[in-house]
Copies of this chain bind each other. A is one copy, B any other.
Amino acid sequence: MILGVDYYPEHWPEERWETDARMMKSAGLDVVRIAEFAWSKIEPNPDVYDFGWLDRSIQLLSEAGLQVILGTPTAAPPAWLARGHPDTLPVDEHGRRREFGGRRHYCANSIEMQERTRRVVSAMAKHYGKRVEIIGWQIDNEFGGGRTARCFCPNCEKQFRIWLKDHYGSLEALNDAWGTVFWSQTYSDWIEINPPRQAAEQPNPSQVLDYYRFSSDSWAAYQQIQVDLLRELCDSRQFVTHNFMGLFHDLDYHKLAAPLDFATWDSYPSGHLDRWRPLVYPPDSTLSPVEPAYAYDVGEPVITQMGHDLTRGLKQAPFWVMEQQCGQINWGAYNPGIRPGTVRLWSWHAVASGASGIVYFRWRACLYAQEQYHSGLLHHDASPDVGYEDLLLLSQEKTLLDEISRQPFESPVALVLDYNDLWAIQIQPHRQNFGYLRHLFVFYQALTRLGINVDIVSPQADFKGYKLLISPTALLGDSTLATRFMEYSDQGGLLLLGVRSGFNTPSKIVVDQPLPGSFRDLAGVAIKSWHSLPPGIGYTLGSDLQGLSGQATIWAEALGPDNTAQTLVTYRSGPFSGMTAISERPLGWGRVYYCGFYPDNVQALGLLRYLVNRAGIPTIPRLHESTIAIRRGPYTILLNFSDYPHIVELPGRSVTVNPRDVQVVRSDFLR
């Protein structure tokens, strides 16, 4: 278990560096991430490198007993590059070039930027790649941040056509895949195809989806330039990673994570409360809880948890938090001050969730520019801030943290996340506020309420070992996926498919067979009709299962009547009355379920309680919504994010968890 801090020595007088290093070490920190964003310090003029200051900084840190992670500085190209090569700057969907003065001001497809990247990364790797002080590399910073995932410049226009040629082989295939016969969109020459900027009326959704894929692939390719250089020039003990952004979804994180040694993410619970809550809670239904007052500075624990679980799922392996909030941030609407104990709680949460490293952002509040009101472990004036005080507490618990960290993270349940499906729903939701992540979250939060560890994995992940697999919206799911699901279920797994599964082909045209398309045989159902339901409209459900009552809202599909599956839940009112709402079908040693409506929180809880019981997965009853329970080996870690004590009922014992506190319970009760 490693604790560290993000540090920018270039922001401070050199005479301060030693003091900083000493204070870091004495606060129990092990590693320091530096050099991120330091391109203009490292290469003040083209091809003129200055590693002197960085060498001195690393030496001081090393002398203090700290190890170093180096960031490649490419997230912030220097002014001389923007000036000399304006075509390296990205262009937005309205055709406006975005200018120098912030960060991420480059196009991944710029040849010049790629060449400049090769040079600066090579220079750094040659200089530091064999040094023992350096334990690893973070490539760039937060790919896609600040709405930079998709560029619409002439470079991208050309590369998009090449990408399409590679992908489809022929124009005819592309015309078929995009259904361009509609509205006379047929292309007769590759040159006619543009990025989806601003069409008269909306653009072709297949074109948009492919542009999202192309853009994501462009960043993966750009990252690969750096990965290849670092692999080639650095000692193999130096890891290579990137810091992801949790629920951010403009890029295919599964593809980006693939070539890395492990994944990391930047966790800002109080900011994510603001930013992600609208993503996962629906604005137009009763699913959206009144915001609990406790969350204002600790964040919504289930949302934070989802960030951890998603990042762990990128490689189905332990991860790091490369930036851990340790005080107020500067980029939210309100940026509340953080109360004592919160940073310790967040740290415990990360470790319990499988983080093997936590790096606090940042050492000292920066005096300058865009982030000048963002906190650090130290105040602007170098006095300790609330995070520093928490860190001192935490360092006393390091033995227990290490013990937890060593335990395997095992999840009996996995949720499938496919960025292609997400984008397809985003491009054509058909119903306002459907939201791919929102639908996924309905199932996710129910599982956390049951105290069950959950993985969030790619459709290409290894499903073996999961007792229950949930695929909320496999919209573009094809026969390959259906086969993988079938094999999984065949071997004893329970599989739950959600609405809209198999509606489209991978290029986002509708299948011309009965729905759910490729999953029809798997689920043993045929969808006769599907309805988007506006707010206030619902179809009554009937079943014997606890919690599975009330009304189907938002989205409903009528299963049958030609089902081979059995009926678990039935519609009891509305035009689908009498038809199946949830089906159940034995398949090999397992079972396949199709949930034909978009459940609310209570319904999802009822359904999942039924399924996990069927799967033999133990649960914790009556967990309060502010309390998270995570299992690591023989330990159960209980975290209370509220301002009141909560009692958690574990088998044979009740455990009281104090406000904003953690309890680690050793037992084998869940086995």
Using Cβ atoms and an 8 Å threshold, which residues of chain B touch A529? 337, 379, 385-386
In the assembled complex, A451 has its CB within 8 A of some CB on chain B: no
One digit per residue, 1 when the CB lies within 8 angstroms of any chain B CB and 0 when it does not, for chain A 181-212 equals 11111111101101011111111111100000
Are B90 and A575 closer than 8 Å at their CB atoms?
Answer: no
Q: Which B residues are in CB contact (< 8 Å) with A333?
A: 431-432, 534
- Partner-binding segment picked from A221-229, A368-376, A453-461: A368-376
B104 touches A201 (CB 8 A): yes
| A544-566 interface (Cβ within 8 A of B) | 556
Known: A76-B184, A146-B200. A512 touches B100 (CB 8 A): no
Q: Does chain B have a CB within 8 A of A257? A: no
Determine whether the beta carbon of B535 is less than 8 Å from that of A334.
yes
What is the bound-complex CA distance between A340 and B368, given in angstroms? 56
Stretch from A26-34, A77-85, A237-245 contacting the other chain: A77-85
Once bound together, how far apart are the Cα atoms of A581 and B148, in whole Å? 43
Q: Measured between C-beta atoms, what is the minimum distance from A535 to chain B in Å?
A: 7
Q: Which of A40-48, A161-169, A415-423, A491-499 contacts B (4 or more CB under 8 A)?
A: A40-48
With most chain B CB atoms within 10 A of its CB, the pick from A11, A83, A511, A513 is A83
User: With A192-B82, A199-B102 in contact, do A510 and B367 touch (Cβ < 8 Å)?
Assistant: yes
Across-interface contacts of A188 in B (CB, < 8 A): 40, 44-45, 78-80
Give chain B residues whose Cβ lies under 8 Å from the Cβ of A535: 334
Let me know if B534 and A296 touch, CB within 8 A. yes
Contact residues of A between 80 and 109, Cβ < 8 Å to B: 80, 82-83, 89-90, 92, 94-96, 98-106
| A383, CB-defined interface residue at 8 Å | yes
When C-beta atoms are compared, the residue in chain B nearest to A207 turns out to be: B101
A369-399 interface with B by 8 A CB criterion: 369-373, 379-383, 385-386
How distant is A17 from chain B, measured CB to nearest CB, in Å? Answer: 14
Which of chain B's residues have a CB closer than 8 A to the CB of A367? 179, 509-512
Q: How far is the CB of A71 from chain B (nearest CB, A)?
A: 11
Contact of A205 among B8, B187, B369, B428 (CB under 8 A): B369
Q: Which residues of B contact A337 (CB under 8 A)?
A: 529-533, 556, 575
Asked whether, in the complex, the Cβ of A179 is within 8 Å of the Cβ of B368, the reply is: yes
The digit string for A511-535, where 1 denotes a CB below 8 A from any CB of B, is 1111100000000000011111111
Contact A336 B531 (CB under 8 A): yes
Given contacts A96-B95, A179-B372, A181-B41, contact A365 B510 (CB under 8 A): yes
Give, as a whole number of angstroms, the nearest-CB distance from A283 to chain B.
Answer: 12
- Chain A residues with a Cβ closer than 8 Å to the other chain, count: 116
A37 at interface by CB-CB < 8 Å: yes
A residues 561-603 touching B (CB-CB < 8 Å) = 574-575
Q: Complex Cα distance A531/B536, Å?
A: 39
Q: Does A293 contact B (CB under 8 A)?
A: yes
Tell me, in angstroms, the Cα distance from A385 to B372 when the chains sit together.
55
Distance between Cα atoms of A534 and B299 in the complex (Å): 12
Q: Which residue of B lies closest to A365 (CB)?
A: B510
Given contacts A41-B184, A380-B512, contact A100 B532 (CB under 8 A): no
A99-B194, A103-B183 as given contacts; A336 in contact with B44, CB under 8 Å = no
Q: Using Cβ atoms and an 8 Å threshold, which residues of chain B touch A180?
A: 368-369
**B residues in contact with A381, CB < 8 Å:** 511-515
Which residues does chain B contribute within 8 Å of A187, judged by CB atoms? Answer: 79
Contacts of A514 in B (CB 8 A): 381, 383
With A10-B181, A79-B188: A145-B512 Cβ-Cβ less than 8 Å = no
Say yes or no: B206 contacts A101, CB within 8 Å.
Answer: no
A159 within 8 A of B: no
A614 in contact (CB, < 8 A): no
Residues of B contacting A76 in the complex (Cβ-Cβ under 8 angstroms): 183-185
Complexed CA–CA distance, A114 and B371 (Å): 39
Within 8 Å CB of A328, what residues of B? 531-532
Query: In whole angstroms, how far apart are the Cα atoms of A80 and B193 in the complex?
Result: 11
Inter-chain contacts of A145 with B (CB < 8 A): 201
Cβ B194 vs Cβ A101 within 8 A: yes
- Known A381-B514, A530-B337; contact A101-B196, beta-carbon cutoff 8 A: yes
Q: A541 CA to B35 CA in the complex, in Å?
A: 44
Contact of A38 with B by CB under 8 A: yes
How far is B340's CA from A531's CA once the two chains are assembled, in angstroms?
Answer: 13
Contact digits for A341-384, partner B, Cβ 8 Å, 1 yes 0 no: 00000000000000000000000011111111100000111110
A residues 291-342 near B (Cβ < 8 Å) are 293, 296, 328, 330, 333-337, 339-340
Q: Is A132 in the interface zone, CB < 8 Å from B?
A: no
Contacts A44-B188, A370-B202, A532-B337 known; A181 to B11 CB distance under 8 Å?
A: yes
Residue pairs across A and B with Cβ atoms less than 8 A apart, 13 shown, are A40-B184, A76-B185, A96-B198, A179-B369, A204-B369, A293-B537, A330-B430, A333-B534, A335-B430, A336-B531, A366-B510, A372-B509, A382-B512
16 further interface pairs, Cβ-Cβ under 8 Å (given A100-B199, A205-B370): A40-B186, A45-B188, A79-B187, A95-B96, A99-B200, A102-B201, A145-B201, A178-B368, A183-B369, A183-B370, A293-B536, A334-B432, A335-B532, A365-B510, A368-B510, A381-B512
4 closest A-B pairs by beta carbon, nearest first, are A179-B368, A337-B531, A146-B201, A102-B199
